[in-house]
Amino acid sequence: MHSDAVQIPEAKVGGATIPATTIPGVDIPAQRVPAQCTEIKPAPGGCLGAASIPETSIPAVEIPAVEIPGVNAGGLKVDPVRADAVRADAVRAKAVSTPEVCQRKVQGSGLVPFVIRPFIIRPFIIRPFIIRPFIIRPEKCNDKGECVPAVEVPAVEAPSVEVPSVEIPAAELKSYEVGKSEVLEGEDSIAYNLNADVLFDFDSADIKPAAAAELKRIAQQIDQKAASSSTIQIDGHTDDKGEDAYNVRLSQRRAQAVLDWLATKGGLGQTRLKATGYGETKPVRPNTTDTGRAKNRRVVISTETS
């Protein structure tokens, strides 16, 4: 922000010399409110990471006082004219944060309750507009017609500055049941039907930690009941939401994730395991209700028995 200096030329009045005067201009350097980033920290499965918005501030600004000097010489008397300094104080918004929240673990089977990380907001702040007003010392002459000229110092203003509000929306992990796989056992085969919502978060192929107990139980039963030479088939299925090709890829990734878990943590031989993704092509319920779609989102582990 810049305003030019004002030059008052020398004047001669009644035999007296009134020297030239310079009224300083105003230079206020640019001020910057730095860019900032919100943060959501990484969190383990079943948890929502801590979220934070940093503090911010708009710096203070001041326009200095100014004065046009008076004149008292050669039969002239002109009072000085002054404008006081104007200031806008710094404005701050404090940091806002919320801690990590995690779903309660259950032993065996049961309901894992939902958790929510609340919405947080750092409010809008504003440093108001300020102005040092225009001032003028008028022209004045003595009875001999000798004059001192009018002097004007223009107004100086600093505009208002705003920093918009910043928010992090609420997030939720839905409740779900663990240990609720459906077992379909025939004379020479067995299949475990697991709800995909129990195993995975929405649109994810990462197995939830809370699903480990049920997968471990299934792995132990398959190890006891499966024929020694039989293949253990893991089939992934989705509902009809989304594009067909994407659903096939998602179901394949989920089936592969279960295969990898059974091989690395379930004690089943990798060479016996086979994963296939069918997408939405093999529904067990009509995809016309939320309940039907939930039934169709599943992973089926099956094998021949001895």
Residue 127 has pLDDT above 70, yes or no: yes
Confidence of residue 108 (pLDDT cuts 50, 70, 90): low
Domain regions of the chain by residue span = 2-168, 178-304
For residue 235, the model assigns a pLDDT of 94
pLDDT of residue 153: 96
**Over residues 119-123, mean pLDDT:** 97
The pLDDT value given to residue 49 = 87
pLDDT of residue 173: 75
- Give exposure, 169-194, as e/b (b: 16+ Cβ within 10 Å): eebebeebbbeebeeeeeeeebbbbb
Q: Answer yes or no: is pLDDT of 176 > 70.
A: no
Average pLDDT of span 104-124: 77
* Confidence label for 125 from pLDDT (cuts 50, 70 and 90): very high
Tens of pLDDT, residues 180-231: 567 777 667 788 888 888 888 888 999 988 888 889 988 988 888 888 888 9
Tokens of 170: 């609420």
Residue range 174-179: mean pLDDT, rounded = 58
Q: Are the C-beta atoms of 68 and 20 separated by less than 8 Å?
A: no
At residue 12, the pLDDT reads 87
**Burial degree of 99 (CB within 10 A; 0-12, 13-18, 19+):** exposed
Domain 178-304: CATH class, spelled out: alpha beta
pLDDT at residue number 174: 66
pLDDT value of position 233: 92
Task: Say yes or no to pLDDT of 177 above 80.
Answer: no
Q: What is the pLDDT of residues 256-293, one digit of tens each?
A: 999 999 999 998 988 999 999 999 998 888 999 988 89
Distance from C-alpha of 222 to C-alpha of 262, rounded to nearest angstrom: 10
Q: Is residue 178 over pLDDT 70?
A: no
Q: What percent of the chain has pLDDT over 90?
A: 56
Q: For 148, what's the count of Cα atoms within 13 Å in the CB-facing half-sphere?
A: 29
Flag whether pLDDT at 107 surpasses 80: no
Residue 106: pLDDT above 60? no
What's the pLDDT tens digit per position in 88-104?
999 999 999 999 988 77
Average pLDDT, the chain: 88
**So what's the pLDDT on residue 187?**
63
pLDDT at 237 > cutoff 90: yes
18-32, 165-179, 189-203: which range is least confident on average? Answer: 165-179
Report DSSP letters for 99-118, one per residue: --EEPPP-SSSEEE--EEEP
Is residue 250 predicted with pLDDT exceeding 90? yes
If we measure between CA atoms, which residue out of 129, 146, 148, 128 comes closest to residue 138? 148
